[in-house]
Copies of this chain bind each other. A is one copy, B any other.
Amino acid sequence: MTRVTLKEVATHAGVSHQTVSNVLNNHPSIRPQTRARVLSSIEALDYHPNQAAKALREARVTTLCCAFYGHDPENFTDPYRNLVQSAFIAEAQANGYSVTTEFITHGPDESTLPSLDGLRQRFMQRQFGGVVIVGTTLTPEQYQVMAAWKLPIVLFDHHHPGTSATWISADYERGMELLVDHHVTQGRTRLTLILPHDDSGSTSIGRRIGFERACARAGVEAAIVQGDWSYESGYQAMRTLWVDGQRPDAVLAGNDRMAAGAMRAAHDLALNVPDDVAVSGFDDFEFALYTTPSLTTIHIPHGDMARQAVRALLALLDGNELPESRVFPLSLVVRESA
């Protein structure tokens, strides 16, 4: 499995290997004639430059890392990951970079999975040039540790006020306000939000702040119960609200999956959505269109956000200035459930 090298191309074309290199890298001063000859030799020999050699020589790497922090890889079907990753890879490829994906989990099964140290090690070994950290539970301390590693990093969907990293997020506060206002407009007065808590620096904080502010402004009852982003937790939360007798007239879920779980629970409790209780989500995943009833939710432009994250990371790798952080606007999508 011996492969064609620069030198062989040079011999074939009757030039020095340096000239071939110059052709490949589009150096100016090369006679068109020579250039054509070299190109045809490359074609004839089916030559492909060895990236390893190039990377070694240039001390740079054309791989980006998309790291999902705190996402359980066994939690297979979260569409969020799909959305973010697809756009991430597409944008990176369009810029000539390939993408390696890492799952960074902690917890019982940590031993078989990469910790932050694994990420660092791969970076130090030149497996990738920079990373976008997608996730909800990276602490400011952890971020500080990583900053000391000089790892080019962009934070996705979370950030820490005290830190300087570029971050890409969306206006979750305002999104939740839109949602609350919609419920209020529909005549709802007792709202309950299902949301993971204690998730510092993450997207859940913005949702909570927006919820509380909008409810206070509207003068409606506001309560928060806990979920963990999963269908199951939405189902359980809804059940508990009815069994315990709180029974609000609107249930807002922090994401679409919990909302779907809550709607299923409502069905099992013989409740009519939206007549007996309104339910809303947050994400606007594809399936929100196909639930019964279809889900009123907030549209998050995950694809645009992921593409922007890649661009920011590339800018960070390129220049020396810190790329701008961005907050994407969100919009309300009214369907049947609220």
CB within 8 Å of B: which residues of A?
A: 1, 3, 46, 48-53, 55-56, 61, 63, 73-74, 76-79, 81-83, 85-87, 89-90, 93-94, 98-103, 112-114, 118, 121-122, 124-127, 150, 231, 235, 260-261, 263-264, 267, 285-287, 289-292, 294, 302-303
| Contact flag A126-B291 (CB < 8 Å), given A1-B150, A99-B101 | no
Asked if B51 contacts A289 (CB within 8 A), the reply is no
Query: A292 and B290 in contact (CB under 8 A), knowing A93-B114, A150-B1?
Result: no
Q: Is B77 in contact with A286, judged by CB distance below 8 angstroms?
A: yes
Q: Which of B55, B61, B89, B113 contacts A73 (CB 8 A)?
A: B89
Min CB–CB distance A127 → chain B (angstroms): 6
A292 vs B293: C-alpha distance when bound (angstroms): 9
Q: Which residues of B contact A99 (CB under 8 A)?
A: 100-101
Q: Are A89 and B77 in contact (CB under 8 A)?
A: no
Smallest CB-CB A-B distances: 6 pairs: A48-B124, A77-B79, A52-B55, A52-B56, A77-B286, A73-B86
- Indicate whether A124 sits within 8 Å of B3 (C-beta atoms), given known contacts A56-B50, A76-B82, A76-B286: yes
Contact partners of A90 in chain B: CB under 8 A:
73, 103, 112-113
The 6 listed contacts between A and B (C-beta, < 8 Å) are: A74-B303, A79-B79, A82-B82, A86-B103, A99-B100, A291-B292
